[in-house]
């Protein structure tokens, strides 16, 4: 790693649980999240995590993490920890996750996560009543901030 770069470890993914007796076509409760690795607080360097859900989630009024909001797009901005969205639904889809940093000179980082509701056979998990976890580790590569107090003194 060149000296002007450093990394921060994150974990992102989804956890889905079947609803026992669904009253609507929503069959699963799920959470999609971005967290620090080993429980590290990431809010000191991450300003916002945006989760872009499937277009079927773009409805004029809906409840996001317990708060009723007007939502004209399927993109949900979370500005404080925990950086997560809790929802219910019926289908699997790809979620676009965008991380924005407090330091405006760090470019936002965007990646995709596929929400999984159903266990894959190759994971050896066949019972559909169990929670389905799909979790990944990643390292964010950040630029070192050049304006350290030392450099300011020097200037």
Task: Assess contact for 82 and 24: CB atoms under 8 A.
Answer: no
Query: Whose Cβ is closer to ligand SLL: residue 54's or residue 118's?
Result: 54
Query: Whose Cβ is closer to ligand SLL: residue 39's or residue 60's?
Result: 60
Q: How many CB atoms are closer than 10 A to CB 14?
A: 23
What is the spatial distance between Cα 132 and Cα 31, in angstroms, rounded to a whole number?
A: 11
Q: Does 114 engage in binding with ligand SLL (CB under 6 A)?
A: no
Residue 27: CB minimum distance to ligand SLL, A:
9
Contact set for ligand SLL, span 12-51 (CB under 6 A)? none
Q: Does 54 engage in binding with ligand SLL (CB under 6 A)?
A: yes
How many residues line the site for ligand SLL (CB under 6 A)? 8
What is the spatial distance between Cα 131 and Cα 75, in angstroms, rounded to a whole number?
A: 25
* HSE of 31, CA atoms in CB hemisphere, 13 A: 14
Of the residues 13, 42, 92, 113, which one makes contact with ligand SLL according to CB under 6 A: 92
Q: Does 65 engage in binding with ligand SLL (CB under 6 A)?
A: no
Query: Whose Cβ is closer to ligand SLL: residue 91's or residue 108's?
Result: 91
The C-alpha angle 109, 140, 132, rounded to 5 degrees, equals: 85
Task: Assess contact for 53 and 84: CB atoms under 8 A.
Answer: no
Residue 51: CB minimum distance to ligand SLL, A:
14
Contact set for ligand SLL, span 72-91 (CB under 6 A)? 89-91
**Cα end-to-end span (Å), the chain:** 27
Residue numbers at the binding site for ligand SLL (CB under 6 A): 54, 56-57, 89-93
């Amino acid at each position: 790693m060149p000296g002007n770069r450093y990394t921060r470890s994150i974990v992102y993914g989804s956890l889905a649980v079947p609803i026992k007796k669904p009253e609507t076509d929503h069959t699963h409760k799920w959470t999609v999240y971005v967290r620090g690795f080993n429980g590290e607080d990431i809010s000191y360097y991450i300003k916002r995590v945006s989760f872009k859900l499937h277009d079927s989630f773009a409805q004029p009024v809906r409840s996001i993490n317990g708060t009723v909001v007007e939502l004209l797009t399927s993109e949900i901005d979370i500005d404080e920890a925990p950086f997560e969205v809790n929802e219910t639904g019926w289908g699997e889809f790809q979620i676009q996750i965008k991380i924005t940093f407090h330091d405006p000179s760090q470019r936002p980082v965007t990646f995709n996560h596929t929400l999984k509701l159903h266990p894959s056979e190759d994971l050896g998990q066949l019972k559909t009543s169990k929670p389905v976890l799909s979790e990944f580790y990643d390292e964010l590569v950040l630029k070192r901030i050049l304006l350290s107090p030392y450099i300011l003194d020097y200037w």
